[in-house]
Amino acid sequence: QGNIQPAKLVLLGDMGAGKSSLVLRFVKGQFTDYQESTIGAAFLTKTVPEFKVKFEIWDTAGQERYHSLAPMYYRGAAAAIIVYDITSTESFNRAKNWVRELQRQGNPDLIVALAGNKADLAGQRAVEPSEAQGYADENGLYFIETSAKTSVNVGDLFNEIAKRLPKP
C-alpha cells in the first residue's frame, strides 16, 4: 500500500460543538458524554483504504483563547471541517466566522465541509438544515448534519472529503 496519499485535515468550530467527539467517533469508533475540552490541539491519523487516503487530523481547541493558534493548523491543510452544534445559534454564527477567516487567509483550493453536529438532539434544534444548506451553497461548502453520539453521517462526512481530494 505504497500509494496511500497523506491529507492534512483540520477541525474548527466553537467550543463544545463536538469536534473531538467527531474525530474520536471516526478514528476509534468511540463516544463519551464526558469528552474533555481540548487544550491547544490534538493530532490523530486515520487511513481510509477505500480512498487510499491517510487523514492527518488536527483537532483544534474551540475556546476563544486558542483562536490565535488556528492558522498553524489550517495553513497547508487540504481540507477543513467546520463544526457547529445544531442546538446553538451562537455556534452556527461562530462557524460562519470560521468560514470567513478561511476565505480570507486560507488556501483557495481548501475543501471545506460544514458539519451540523448533535443531530440526535433534533428536539432542541435551533438551526434549520435548510438555513445551513443555503449558507453552504452560497459559500461553496459541503454541508451535512452529523451525530458523533449515534454516529449518523460521520463516515459520510469524512468519505465525502476523501472523494473531493485532488488525485495525486
Q: Which residues of the shown chain bind ligand GTP in the complex (CB under 6 A)?
A: 13, 15-21, 32-33, 35, 37-38, 61-63, 117-118, 120-121, 147-149
* Contacts of 128 by beta carbon, 8 Å cutoff, 6+ apart: none
Count, residues near Mg ion per rule CB under 5 A: 3
Q: Is 146 in the site for Mg ion (CB under 5 A)?
A: no
CB atoms within 10 A of CB 14: 23
Phi then psi for residue 8, to 5 deg, are -80, 125
Q: Which residues are CB-neighbours of 106 under 8 A, at least 6 positions away?
A: 74, 75, 77, 80
Q: Pairing relation of β-strands 53-60 and 41-48?
A: antiparallel
**AA identity, residue 21:** S
Q: How far is the CB of 96 from ligand GTP (least distance, A)?
A: 16
> Which CB sits closer to ligand GTP, 51 or 66?
66
Q: How far apart are CA 10 and CA 2, in angstroms?
A: 24
Nearest residue (CB) to ligand GTP, 33 versus 50: 33
Q: Among ligand GTP, Mg ion, none, what binds residue 149 when CB lies within 5 to 8 Å by partner kind?
A: ligand GTP
Stretch that binds Mg ion, among 18-26, 102-110, 134-142, 155-163 (CB under 5 A): 18-26
Closer Cβ to Mg ion, 20 or 153, answer by number: 20
At closest approach, how far in Å is the CB of 109 from ligand GTP? 25
